[in-house]
């Protein structure tokens, strides 16, 4: 029987590499994408490009109303940081943190997975080159799986959910090296938190800086169109 | 400082009693209500009535797109059971189960709580007179709290979330006895899964039957308008 997987898929660098990887591994793929009022919704457009390339079985885009809660520079009027945040050294959680984002995303994946009978959920989080968000850490993911198997019909009926994080211990450059091996076209992926109206990356938000650093370290040419180029 | 609480509030019997209880205890109350495509959306209208009576500080109604996933008689074309389901004796989970519902609801509460700085979340679940849903059990709730405190900024910063379930070991009739003591007007609450177009309760779905049984056992007059009366 074909292995089935739900991918939390944003159209960004990490989840696109995950898509390429699961395609390579022969999974039947279901992508789940969220429109949560993020400023960088160009990400959503890019996500459809790759879904076609990798013959995804089914794709859903779920609109979730995080903007009405506020509290993040990604969904409200708080400005996006224009430097690599201090959290790499101080453990501070940056303004781009969106409250309970991955908890919500994974919860929707459980709902879809139960109905669709897909119990393997993949998320492209890494706790190496990351922004310090608590919902990207392994101990959180493990705890989520326990909770999921106590709180769902599938879980208590013995068809265990699992949340897979193949990139959890990979650096950004290692993820890019993997994706390049898999022939992923990174020109079809998007990272910038604060893109221009024509969809180009700003080049100096936290996410652009992490992306540039990754390509540089991987010694792979970065196909991204940056409006500015400060590195 | 005033104690603050988020209540997962449906306008039903249990969460309305919870609202009355927290009002009585002197909390500043934030209600969170979900429109998840349920057939019984009359519940949503009733919920605004009581929010006014109990001077709720802030109310949000969040639309979540569970209908696109399907899989429950509450959100799809699967008919609602017209009897008390076997699960009271067999542990079977009925068709009215909505995949990952309370996981999603509680996750939204975390998001709102973080932004709003409210770390006490109340949910009116009971595992006594209930329908066997796994996401109404104490072990699930405990596991959710652990996950929440690992996966949120508030949690890892030491401002612990808690999920309170004051009714977890109360029967339906005990909840009704409590609400009656608190002068709650149960005529402003709604339980029926399959109401008529004028908002009257059907009288014979699982939720109506549990409600009737509860009032009978509590020896309290049931103010509900039932279209049919089979008990």
Query: Is 3.40.50.620 the CATH classification of the domain at A4-77+99-190?
Result: yes
Indicate which of A67, A69, A111 best probes the interface with B, i.e. most B CBs within 10 Å of its own CB.
A111
Indicate which of A8, A112, A152, A159 best probes the interface with B, i.e. most B CBs within 10 Å of its own CB.
A152
pTM given for the model? 0.88
Residue A43 has pLDDT above 90, yes or no: no
Instruction: Provide the ipTM.
Output: 0.86
Q: How does residue A15 score in pLDDT terms, banded at 50, 70 and 90?
A: very high
Q: Give the chain B residue whose CA is nearest to the CA of A102.
A: B151
A147/B152 touch (CB, cutoff 8 Å), yes or no: no
Q: Phi and psi for A163 in degrees, rounded to 5?
A: -115, 115
Cα–Cα distance for residue pair A179/A171, rounded to 1 Å: 12
Extents of the domains making up chain B: 4-78+99-190
CB B176, CB B13: distance < 8 Å: yes
Distance of alpha carbon B42 from its chain centroid, rounded?
A: 14
Cβ under 8 Å to A: B residues 90-109: 93, 97, 99-104, 107-108
pLDDT for B212: 94
Cα–Cα distance for residue pair B154/A77, rounded to 1 Å: 21
Distance of alpha carbon B58 from its chain centroid, rounded?
A: 18
Contact of A132 with chain B, judged by CB distance below 8 Å, is answered with no
pLDDT for B206: 85
Nearest to B107 among A104, A143, A150 (CB): A104
Cα–Cα distance for residue pair B223/B212, rounded to 1 Å: 10
CB B126, CB B170: distance < 8 Å: yes
Identify the three-state secondary structure at position B63: strand
Summarize pLDDT for B176-198 with one digit per residue, the tens.
999 999 999 999 998 888 888 77
Nearest to B107 among A107, A134, A155 (CB): A107
Contact of B148 with chain A, judged by CB distance below 8 Å, is answered with yes
CB B74, CB B39: distance < 8 Å: yes
Residue A162 has pLDDT above 60, yes or no: yes
Q: How does residue A88 score in pLDDT terms, banded at 50, 70 and 90?
A: very low
Contact of B78 with chain A, judged by CB distance below 8 Å, is answered with no
Cα–Cα distance for residue pair B188/A173, rounded to 1 Å: 59
Across residues A191-218, what is the average pLDDT? 88
Nearest to A108 among B93, B104, B148 (CB): B104
The C-alpha R_g of chain A, in whole angstroms, comes to 17
Q: Give the chain A residue whose CA is nearest to the CA of B58.
A: A69
Give the least confident one: A17-31, A177-191, B84-98, B111-125: B84-98
pLDDT for B186: 95
Cβ partners under 8 Å of residue A201, min gap 6: A190, A191, A192, A195, A208, A211, A224, A225, A226, A227
Question: H-helix or E-strand containing B6?
Answer: strand B4-8
pLDDT for B15: 95
CA distance A68 to chain B (A): 9
B116 vs A contacts (CB less than 8 Å)? 69
Across residues A62-74, what is the average pLDDT? 73
CA distance B136 to chain A (A): 8
Contact of A156 with chain B, judged by CB distance below 8 Å, is answered with yes
Nearest to B140 among A70, A104, A150 (CB): A150
Cβ-count burial of A192 within 10 angstroms (0-12 exposed, 13-18 middle, 19+ buried)?
Answer: buried
pLDDT for B230: 44
Question: H-helix or E-strand containing B7?
Answer: strand B4-8
CB B16, CB B7: distance < 8 Å: no
Q: Give the chain A residue whose CA is nearest to the CA of B101.
A: A111
Across residues A98-109, what is the average pLDDT? 91
A93 vs B contacts (CB less than 8 Å)? 153, 156-157
CA distance A33 to chain B (A): 13
B143/A139 touch (CB, cutoff 8 Å), yes or no: no
pLDDT tens, residue order, chain B (231 aa) = 679 999 999 889 999 999 999 999 999 999 999 887 776 666 667 667 788 889 899 999 888 877 777 666 666 665 666 655 544 444 566 666 778 889 999 999 999 999 889 999 999 999 886 667 888 999 999 999 999 999 998 888 888 999 999 999 999 999 999 999 999 999 999 888 888 877 789 888 888 999 999 999 999 999 998 886 544
CA distance B56 to chain A (A): 17
CATH superfamily of B4-78+99-190: HUPs (3.40.50.620)
Highest averaged pLDDT of the listed ranges A44-53, A92-101, B68-77, B107-116: B107-116
| pLDDT > 90: percent of chain A | 51
CA distance B5 to chain A (A): 16
Q: How does residue A65 score in pLDDT terms, banded at 50, 70 and 90?
A: confident
Distances (CA, A) of B128 to A122, B42, B135, B170, B174: 36, 26, 13, 6, 10
Residue A84 has pLDDT above 60, yes or no: no
Q: How does residue A87 score in pLDDT terms, banded at 50, 70 and 90?
A: very low
């Amino acid at each position: 029987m074909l292995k089935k997987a739900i991918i939390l898929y944003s159209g960004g660098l990490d989840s696109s590499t995950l898509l390429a990887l699961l395609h390579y591994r022969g999974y039947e793929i279901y992508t789940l994408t969220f429109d949560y009022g993020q400023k960088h919704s160009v990400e959503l457009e890019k996500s459809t490009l790759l879904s076609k390339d990798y013959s995804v079985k089914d794709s859903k885009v779920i609109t979730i109303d995080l903007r009405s809660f506020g509290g993040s520079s990604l969904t409200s009027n708080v400005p996006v940081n224009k430097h690599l945040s201090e959290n790499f050294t101080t453990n501070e959680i940056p303004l781009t943190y969106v409250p309970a984002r991955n908890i919500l995303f994974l919860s929707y994946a459980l709902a879809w997975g139960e109905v669709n009978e897909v119990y393997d959920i993949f998320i492209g989080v890494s706790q190496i080159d990351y922004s310090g968000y608590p919902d990207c850490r392994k101990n959180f993911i493990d705890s989520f799986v326990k909770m999921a198997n106590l709180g769902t019909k599938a879980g208590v009926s013995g068809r265990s959910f699992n949340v897979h994080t193949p990139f959890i211990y990979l650096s950004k450059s290692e993820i890019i090296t993997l994706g390049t091996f898999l022939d992923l076209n990174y020109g079809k992926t998007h990272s910038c938190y604060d893109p221009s109206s024509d969809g180009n990356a700003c080049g100096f938000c936290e996410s652009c800086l992490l992306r540039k650093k990754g390509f540089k370290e991987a010694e792979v040419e970065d196909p991204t169109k940056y409006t500015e180029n400060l590195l």
